[in-house]
Chain A
Amino acid sequence: MEQDRISELPDEILHHILSFMATKFAVQTSILSTRWRHLWKFISTIHFDSFPYHPFCSIDYSFVDGTLEQHKAPQLHEFLVSTTIRGDLYTKSPISFPIFDLPPSFYAQHYSQSLKQISLGCAHLNPTLSFEGFSSLKELRLWRCKLSDEVVQEIVLKCKLLESFTIDKCRILKYVRIFGRSDMRLKHFTFVWRPQQSPLMVEVDAPSLVSLKFCGHLSRLCLGELPCLAEAKLFHDSSAIDVGFVREILDHKLAHLQLLGVDY
């Protein structure tokens, strides 16, 4: 009796349960029975976590494309891909990380309108020409991704609800500009330098910014008026710091801060 009742659970509930699982596990449930064969395709979160990174062999990321291709839910709220790196490998730089290309379907309308949270490791972001921005996106975290200055700008301009943006050791960036509309919602911005990267400018001018975290050459950080900024954590990554410069930021730009951490 009990078993009959539970199998009465409507598909939507099962989709819901599967959405809370790591996607790898959700896909595995396709083997349970013919009813479960396609249930996973209706998950509302895609979550590839902790794929082990091997230094000498590249990862076959075709499952990410395959999953997006087969995914059928009208909406997707979260998309997360992350790679784990063993601590001892992490410290040996430079390591070239294998990068995977996000398929064009990722920028398609039904995703771009429903995604609220995106977290990507080692991905190549290259939006299609018709990309109109992720209109529901609130949180974006990019770690060791490959993207151009133009794509950063496009994200900032087109993702109108974006509140939290992290750019962590991403490659090929030269001049990062976080600035745009006066109605920008961005509250939290984190930028972490890629040590082996050639000099790079980071300009932040976001009217609603509350917290800023920056790791890199402080002299490359250019701040606009940040009237809401309450918290700044600045980490300088080289011994040659220009004390006068730091004093200038402290005196002029960040005088109203409640919390400031500077480390060098």
Chain B
Amino acid sequence: MEQTAPFIGSRPAAEQRHWGEWIIEKLIQVAGLSTIVIIGLIFFFLLREGLPAFFEVPLRTLLGGRWYPIENLFGLWPLLVGSLLVTAGAILIAVPLGLITAIYMGEIAPRWQREILKPLIEMLAGIPSIVLGFLGWVVLAPLIQQAGASTGLTAFTGSIILAYMSLPTIISSSEDALSAVPTEYRDGALAIGATQWQTIWRVVVPAARSGIVIAIMLGIGRAIGETMAVLMVTGNAANVPALGLGMFFQPVRTMTATIAAEMGEVANGSVHYHTLFAIGILLFVITFAINSLAGRLVGTQGKRRRSSQL
């Protein structure tokens, strides 16, 4: 019998390939880990430019209600209230609509309608925020003014536009949540004589509850960080509106809009500049908290690979 050589790779070609592959695989690993480094760098640069604000501006001023940069008054309260107000309004509109649309798409609509609806929602997700902001500015705001508000540029105007922009996020996450409900639940409910509505309302929606919570959180994260559309349609008045339904119909100024509107005009390194970065830190922390929590609820472990037949 012919004696076979030992199979330890000793040929030069194999060795070279070995080294080449080792380098490629290391590069791939570095690329994967770089995502952690990048998010660290983002936070680092925000801190680097924004932390000085907390030393330069007295805490009482920062927590105060007056944002008048010209007078060195950097109260973040009105901006935070503005952001919360617009976001709350958007969520109040978008969550019911998004959830109902998701229910329709997942539970009621025949296949062909889903095939139309899905691309439409993707298309909505694809419309640049500046375009929706532009429409809010030239179409929606005048309409709202005609409806009797003193100005069309209000928190409510921003909420409507934002609601529309968060809809794709809310719909697709709700859909995921609904489709994760086992078919047996539905069959079981229908089998004991529940109507389709009862099945949806009493069985499917409660079973998808945690997923729907995630959808709402992601929607909030999306809405609170939106900039251009809000900048164009909310009127940008840094007031703290009086409590009541009327507060939705006054101009407000959000954190994001403040950064966008003012960063272009400040001197690098000034107190105002540092404070705008400090707002960035605040936004980063808020969205980081929301997304981390949502991410944890979804389960951050990897998607399971399809099992092999071999």
A and B are interacting partners: no
Which A residues have a C-beta under 8 Å from some C-beta of B? none
Which B residues have a C-beta under 8 Å from some C-beta of A? none
